[in-house]
Amino acid sequence: MMNIKIGTRGSRLALWQAYYIQDLLKAAEVDSELVIIETKGDKILDRSLAKIGSKGVFTQELEDQLRAGTIDIAVHSAKDLQSSLPEDLSIIAFTERERVNDVLISQDKSLSLTSGREFVVGTSSTRRVAMLKHFCPHIKTVDMRGNLQTRLRKLEEGQCDALLLAYAGVHRMEYDDLIAEYLPTEDFTPAVGQGSVAIEAASSLSIDKLNTIRQLTNHEPTEACLKAERAFLRRLEGGCSIPVFGLATWQDGEISLTGGVVSLDGSELLRDRFSGPPAEAERLGHALAESILAKGGDEILRAVRQNL
Ligand SMILES: NCc1[nH]cc(CCC(=O)O)c1CC(=O)O
């Protein structure tokens, strides 16, 4: 009888994701157990993610255990997974994506980013700060790290008037009643991978386990979309801490990929869109990256890297 050891971080959102995978396996009577692993990103809470060094802050310890074979798979928010993985590791499944939007969270439901009213938004994401500067220059931002519960407590304490968060996490933690506004993806395009759960495994995982897990958890349209987005991010050599956005959607068997980069001060935002068949997902990602770099994205990213 197969028993899958599922490695996960211990935050409430991480556990939700791990139980979600466990439930998908359980539906086909595949047994599993959770192994909770603490990462650098969970331990260091007093510095911005950009400063800790974004590469693998939420993933390194899980990857160590994959290699050691103490866990079979590691479950991550696809968004938090660096765009290029080491040779001996790969993503074996992406779950069906949740609604991808960012949302404005506040006790004051009348708040809106488009109303022109001034207020303070807490966020620790360079993408969200830069986008707010670009689209909503009247909004002030304060750095707000920590897991969702910590951020919500800071909101309640009045350290900010609102938070900007991924709908997926808010919904999974059942904070829907705090949503003041859904941001349109046309402007506030989410981070690459937002809303999907990714399963990572080492190349040493048995074919038997790999096939079973993939069959029960992978969602092919989401997988094709995330391949396009991640190829885009990989070509820009980015993780989740650069102000890059990207979203692929699947329509009538075609993938449409939009994405770009925004300068840290919000003064420049570059965007482009490419469409094509899912078999060419990675090529679309590369084409988008080349286009953005050629339009001046290379300069923006150079400045970002010097500033982080
Ligand atoms: N960077 C942290 C993180 N990683 C995944 C989610 C939300 C869930 C998801 O997008 O999968 C969040 C919180 C947020 O950005 O609001």
User: How many whole angstroms separate alpha carbon 279 and alpha carbon 50?
Assistant: 34
Share of residues in the chain with pLDDT > 70 (%): 95
The dihedral formed by the CA atoms of 226, 229, 235 and 239, expressed in degrees to the nearest 10: -80
pLDDT confidence bin for 308, thresholds 50/70/90:
confident
Residue 102 Cβ inside 6 Å of ligand 1? The answer reads: no
Atom of ligand 1 lying closest to residue 17 CA: 11
How far does the centroid of ligand 1 lie from the alpha carbon of residue 79, in Å? 7
Residue 77 Cβ inside 6 Å of ligand 1? The answer reads: yes
pLDDT confidence bin for 44, thresholds 50/70/90:
confident
Per-residue pLDDT tens digits for 244-259: 999 999 999 999 999 9
Give the pLDDT score at 50.
59
Atom of ligand 1 lying closest to residue 166 CA: 16
How far does the centroid of ligand 1 lie from the alpha carbon of residue 58, in Å? 12
Per-residue pLDDT tens digits for 149-180: 999 999 999 999 999 999 999 999 999 999 99
Per-residue pLDDT tens digits for 68-83: 999 999 999 999 898 9
How far does the centroid of ligand 1 lie from the alpha carbon of residue 80, in Å? 7
The lowest-confidence range among 31-35, 48-52, 278-282, 300-304 is 48-52
Which DSSP letter does residue 84 get? Answer: S
Which domains, ranges and CATH numbers included, belong to the chain? 1-96+196-218 (3.40.190.10), 102-182 (3.40.190.10), 220-308 (3.30.160.40)
Could you tell me how many residues make up the chain?
308
Catalytic residues: 80
Residue 166 Cβ inside 6 Å of ligand 1? The answer reads: yes
Per-residue pLDDT tens digits for 190-212: 999 999 999 999 999 999 999 99
Question: CB neighbours (10 Å) of residue 307?
Answer: 11
Per-position DSSP letters for 262-303, written without gaps between them: E-TTSS-EEEEEEEE-GGGHHHHHHHHHHHHIIIIIHHHHHH
How far does the centroid of ligand 1 lie from the alpha carbon of residue 8, in Å? 15
Is the pLDDT assigned to residue 280 strictly greater than 70?
A: yes
